[in-house]
Amino acid sequence: MCVALAAALMFAGYEIAESPGSQLFGKTLVSGPKNERVVALTFDDGPNPPYTGEILDVLRAERVHATFFVVGRAVQAYPALVRREAETGNAVGNHTWNHGHLVLYDNVGLRRTLQRTDAAIFAATGRHTKIMRPPFGSRDWLVLDEVRRLGYTPVMWSVPLAKDWEDPPPRIIAARVLRYAGDGAIITLHDGNRGIVCAHTHTPRLCDRSSDVEATRLIVDTLKRRGYRFVTIPELLRMDSARSATRRVAREGE
């Protein structure tokens, strides 16, 4: 019983430490300003045709931008989709080469998975990215230290994940997001499944993100009606920098 209790306590502690809002292992971006009607819509695990392209169609029709945290092996397979993401005003972030648990990597492995992905992003878009999201939100002190050494800002999320990978109906995905979306929220959906290249698998169902396409439309329409403006993660970071500069000037003037 004591062993079981100790294991349960250790697991609970791990869950708390690994929660997206935890800053135990170091600072990460979890949300934007709490007093402005802005939200950042993000997508993980792509690119993944045809669903990434369909999501881009929705964003274009709604005249909003999002941030795509891409998996390197999928970028290598579908560079034109990543190029389209960047060329249409969306932001692209690093989600590692193969969506591995970063806490299981040593420093060499961490550098390799991030740099290899960055090289694929640059080959597709002609741009480097300085934002990354750890797969599964998995991180510790060593991971975040190496991430920052490479010049990245680690990005988490503030709205609980909608478990869209379980393929609930679009209205359920949207309802789970909209319940928690507020000022400065960072929302995470998925346009792929851990960067799986479906052309190389016999189970294409794993990559079906059609529900996310319609859920994106529902989420954007609803939040626009509520008066929200959509920003990318780099825009959110610039807003944070501007606020910090304003506070610093105010303190110096006291």
Q: Which residue has the higher pLDDT, 214 or 14?
A: 214
Catalytic residue, chosen from 65, 95, 99, 190, is: 190
Q: Round to whole Å and give the CA distance between 12 and 226.
A: 36
**Whole-model pTM above 0.85?**
yes
Judge whether 200 counts as a catalytic residue: no
Among candidate residues 115, 108, 145, the one with its CA nearest the CA of residue 130 = 115
Contact 185, 39 (CB under 8 A): yes
Q: Round to whole Å and give the CA distance between 212 and 192.
A: 10
pLDDT of amino acid 5: 45
Q: Report the sign of the C-alpha dihedral through residues 112, 150, 194, 60, in that order.
A: negative
What is the fold, at CATH topology level, of the domain defined by 36-252? Answer: TIM Barrel (3.20.20)
pLDDT of amino acid 246: 53
Give the tokens for residue 66. 């999002």
Judge whether 190 counts as a catalytic residue: yes
Q: What is the DSSP string of 141-158?
A: HHHHHHHHHTTPEEB--S
Q: What is the pLDDT of residues 2-48, one digit of tens each?
A: 544 444 444 444 445 579 999 999 999 999 999 999 999 999 999 99
pLDDT of amino acid 18: 73
Catalytic residue, chosen from 44, 118, 164, 212, is: 44
Q: How far is CA 122 from the centre of its chain?
A: 19
Helix, strand, coil percentages for the chain (3-state, nearest 5): 50, 10, 35
Mean pLDDT of 131-136: 98
Q: Report the sign of the C-alpha dihedral through residues 175, 51, 183, 159, in that order.
A: positive
Q: What is the pLDDT of residues 167-183, one digit of tens each?
A: 999 999 999 999 999 99
